[in-house]
Structure 1
Amino acid sequence: MMSEAKRMHPAATIFNFIAMIKDVLVPAVIGSFALIRNIDAAPWVWVLVILGLLLIMVAASFLSWYRFTYRIEGDELRIESGIFIRKKRYISKNRIQSIDLTAGVIHRLFGLVKVEVQTAGSDNSAEAGLKAVSRRQGELLREALKGEKAEPAGKVEDPTEPVKPKAVTQRTIGWKRLLLAATTSGGIGVFLSLFAVFGSQVNQIIPDGFFTNVYNWAVHLSIVILLVLVLLVCVGIWLMAIAGTLLRYSYFTIRKYENELFITRGLLEKKQVTVPLNRIQGIRIQENIFRQPLGYAAVYAEVAGGALDKNDDFSIALFPLLKRTEIQSFVQEYLPGFQIEEEWEQLPVRSARRFILRSTLPVVAIAAPLLYFFPLYSWMALIIIAAAAVLGYLRFKDAGFTINEKQLSFRSRMLSREIIVVDRKRIQSLSTSNHWFQRRKSLQTVYFSIASHSGVGKSFLVKDMENGDAEAIRDWYSFHSD
């Protein structure tokens, strides 16, 4: 009976312990290396300290599992947790947007799933989560909270497959398309940020003078060797980005039901994401610099509330890679309320100079001192400045907008070209602005915001738009008659 208090599977103790290792043990070990320099103590003392800390963490993990209970009473999911301070959380069924099931490697060894309950007010983490319950228990919980009929356990082979009536439509990604998505993902930035975080944590245990010695060694190398080393590092990071994309989007499947989209993906960690259609604020089409020449793009949904995927910048990938010619039919099939426009209003020609200057001036400011100290390599600085100018021109060329009776679309570029499509009723605010330089050229910047995670708005803009076009968009939003 769901009205009786239940505990999670005992394997939840493992997940509690792993979380404590990340939050407590690793910083403690790194801090102990820093203290060893200043405190004269025998090595066995530090071993005892670490062992004692491990025993405390094991006990705390067990007590956290034992003191965690959940039940459904009336129209509420009730969760009680806490070792010394008891916390009670009541979640009404009416607030629940989706219930996601995830099966990581450890979950699959024990036949378990992780249950995440998402509400309209959730931020980028779930409103409530059960770290480890049996597959059948997770399905029954979803049935009780969402009014779905669970199938017998013997008929369910994949713990992350949604227990739903037959899908209206579904689409999967093939291995050739997945490999192309991985090699063109442009995910290098994710791994650079991971290296930066790792470097900040281990800085305390690096010997004094290490960076000075590395710098002195690098200075004596030729520019060609330095470029080769940088290239090798970039290739290595690119290969890791490919592996990460393959692990993340393997077996990607999107299914559409009456009011929801179900997305299942993952190789090591199988994850199912539920996307209520009424929470989708807009759709975003992204073509990075690798995919655009090949005619491919990724399609994302901007969703208000819910535990979204942090790697997608609070967006949900509806499909990791589609041909540009497939996007229109994909949107009509899964999001019939949206329309992808083919014709765009371009920016005035006088805006081009401003885009090019904004792109090149920061590069010139950085390159100037380098040219002064390393005049022999001025040709490299000139190439970089020329590339920045080309990027500025592409930003001008790709910028544009289109409006119809119910929908506004913006197109812009930083490095990747992006199209954002929103329904007028989903726009939280729309503003125009211009500064002195823009007023001289009769230009304006137009930007709008939509609801995003935890109620925080997410903004999109197009700079240096014609005054008349900016005013037309503003009037369309302000005085449109429904």
Structure 2
Amino acid sequence: MTEYQEIEPMVDIPAESESAAAEAAEQEQPWLRLDRRMLLVHPVNEVVKLLPVLVVSFILGSQSGNHLWGVAVVTLLVIFGLLRWFTTTYRIGPVHVQLRTGVFQKKLLSVPRSRIRSVDVEAGVMHRLLGLSIVRIGTGQRAGKGHESNKFELNALSSALVPDLRAALLAGARSKPEKPGQSTSETPLPQEPSETEIGHWQPSWVRYAPFSFTGIFIIAAIVGIAFQYGVGSAIARSSAVSTSVDSLESLGVTVLVVVALVALLVLSSIFACVQYLIAFGNMTLTDNGRILHVSHGLLKTRQTTLDRARLRGTTLKEPLLLRLAGGARLDAIMTGVSAEKKESSLLLPQGPRAEAERVMATVIGDTRQASIPLGGHGSAARRRRYTRGLFAAGTALVALLVSLAFGVQIPVYAWVGVAVLAVGGTALAYDRAKGLGHAVLPGWLITRSGSLDRKRHSLEADGVIGWTVRETFFQRRAGVATVIAATPAGTGGYAVIDLPAQDSWSLIEAVTPGAGDVWADRR
């Protein structure tokens, strides 16, 4: 019979080893169960996740007079949640960390301890009340499509176990030799260095929360759910809403639109501020020289470890609204952490731009990054920005002129619309042209682009594994090219857009000496 044990707070975790003796000893390691308090967490989580199904079952039960529908659904969800505790076990051996899960389909997930690069900790409201945490183990490798279920997650462990467990699982990375051929015996395990706080969230930063679309997305989700289950229709048909709309209509359509927009702006700002406080309250960023440790959240807390050995740079995000308010957000560019898959690489949330730049310089260890001026890409790149920005207005104007030539009466608001498109397109083109630029520092490539979603990437040259020079038909006509630095970190590629074509290979040579010579003669 398989032996199961419950891990105690001060239990010894075997040291990492890859020897044959360690492999044999690992098979004798007991399989451990998650904390018994998980029995209170998972049933509630299952009910919350399937709350819409539960609501429908209660509605069907009420209409049919059989209220056992709702009771049956709740009972099944609770049983499923309880079964997850009985069918989930894990084992921490000297060679692997293993997890066995599955109520209907059994699965064994095994992670070599030598590949562990991060141990992230999260705790929701119920977890915090019960003294539990969720531990996620990462290997720094990109999961392919359809591999979301292969994430190594221990939900839930006693919070008292987490610090020692994380230290033990991350200790192996510190003991590995940095140079090929160097034995581990020559590299003694160093003492964990003390942490230094390099970034701290301030309550005043909540003023930057409304300068995003978060509040509007929340309102849209609430309205969608409300109408999906009939609540929104009932509210819309209520006498209070009808009376209010009639009163506003009596004042005119313009007043009604203005009041609606103001109400939307106020509500979206409130929701954005609340979401911002809950997600990022009490945030701290610490650095011990080896690991960046990010901790944030009021109700649901999250602790993320970012291994400096996998750090390849930073991304300063400046969306238009946030930029107008003088704010920015800072993310890390990490090997094995995919920005496209929304994996966490956050260093600072929306806050003052000056603070984001200070933390950026501290993280990458280069104070020049924030102040260095970026070189422009010339008149051809600027002309392309204006061509694209005015394309919609130009197309609309041609359509109106053709219609006018055929005797069609054009209303005044159509000409006003074209003028608005032209002014908006010109402003957008100007901002995009102003934001386009790049710079090369010893060991670094800096590139910036965009207007509505402007981003400034600082990419370490050592993290570049390849180059692509792309020239579309229209780019060739304009004499420009887009140079893409390929990297296993972040988004996988960082582009210098619409650079003069003759400067492409010199840029590559400046960032990666010798790389430009390989292709320069083949143009």
Which TM-score bucket, shorter chain as reference? 0.7 to 0.9
* 3-state secondary structure, aligned to 2:209: helix
Paired position in structure 1 for 2:195: 167
CA–CA distance in 1 between the matches of 2:151 and 2:33?
18
Distance 1:169 1:41, change over 3 A: closer
* 3-state secondary structure, aligned to 1:230: helix
Paired position in structure 2 for 1:459: 493
Paired position in structure 2 for 1:255: 286
TM-score (norm 1): 0.80
Per-residue deviation, residues 48-107 of structure 1 (Å, max 9, x unmatched): 222111111111111111221122122221222222433222211111111122232212
Paired position in structure 1 for 2:4: none
Which deviates the most, 167-176 or 53-62? 167-176
**Residues 41-440 of structure 1 aligned to structure 2 (within 5 Å):** 42-45=63-66, 47-121=67-141, 123=143, 127-147=151-171, 165-176=193-204, 178-184=205-211, 186=212, 188=213, 190-194=214-218, 205-206=229-230, 222-293=253-324, 295-306=326-337, 313-314=342-343, 316-320=345-349, 323-326=352-355, 329-336=358-365, 340=369, 342-362=372-392, 375-376=412-413, 378-379=415-416, 382-440=419-477
Q: Percent identity?
A: 20
CA contact (8 A) 1:398 1:413 kept: yes
Q: What residue identity is the alignment partner of 1:59?
A: I
* 3-state secondary structure, aligned to 1:345: coil
CA–CA distance in 1 between the matches of 2:447 and 2:476?
22
Per-residue deviation, residues 447-478 of structure 1 (Å, max 9, x unmatched): 3343247xxx4333343321222232244456
Distance 1:419 1:80, change over 3 A: same
**How many pairs does the alignment contain?**
450
Distance 1:338 1:14, change over 3 A: farther
Residue 282 of structure 1: CA displacement? 2.4
CA contact (8 A) 2:123 2:302 kept: yes
Residue 275 of structure 1: CA displacement? 0.5
Q: What residue identity is the alignment partner of 1:458?
A: G
Which one of 7, 11, 20 corresponds to residue 46 of structure 2? 20
CA contact (8 A) 1:356 1:390 kept: no
Residue 228 of structure 1: CA displacement? 3.3
Residue 245 of structure 1: CA displacement? 1.2
CA contact (8 A) 2:199 2:286 kept: yes
| Runs of 5+ unmatched residues, structure 2 | 1-10, 14-28, 173-190, 238-244, 401-407, 517-523
CA contact (8 A) 1:446 1:463 kept: yes
* 3-state secondary structure, aligned to 2:133: strand
CA–CA distance in 2 between the matches of 1:372 and 1:286?
46
Tell which has more relative contact order, 1 or 2 (C-alpha 8 A, sep 6+): 1
CA–CA distance in 1 between the matches of 2:350 and 2:46?
37
Distance 1:49 1:308, change over 3 A: farther
CA contact (8 A) 1:120 1:305 kept: yes
Q: Which structure has the greater CA radius of gyration?
A: 2
CA–CA distance in 1 between the matches of 2:130 and 2:419?
59
* 3-state secondary structure, aligned to 1:121: coil
Q: What residue identity is the alignment partner of 2:459?
A: V
* 3-state secondary structure, aligned to 1:237: helix
Paired position in structure 2 for 1:152: none
Aligned-residue RMSD, C-alpha = 3.9
Residue 321 of structure 1: CA displacement? 5.0
CA contact (8 A) 2:481 2:499 kept: yes
CA contact (8 A) 1:97 1:306 kept: no
* 3-state secondary structure, aligned to 1:346: coil
* 3-state secondary structure, aligned to 2:35: coil
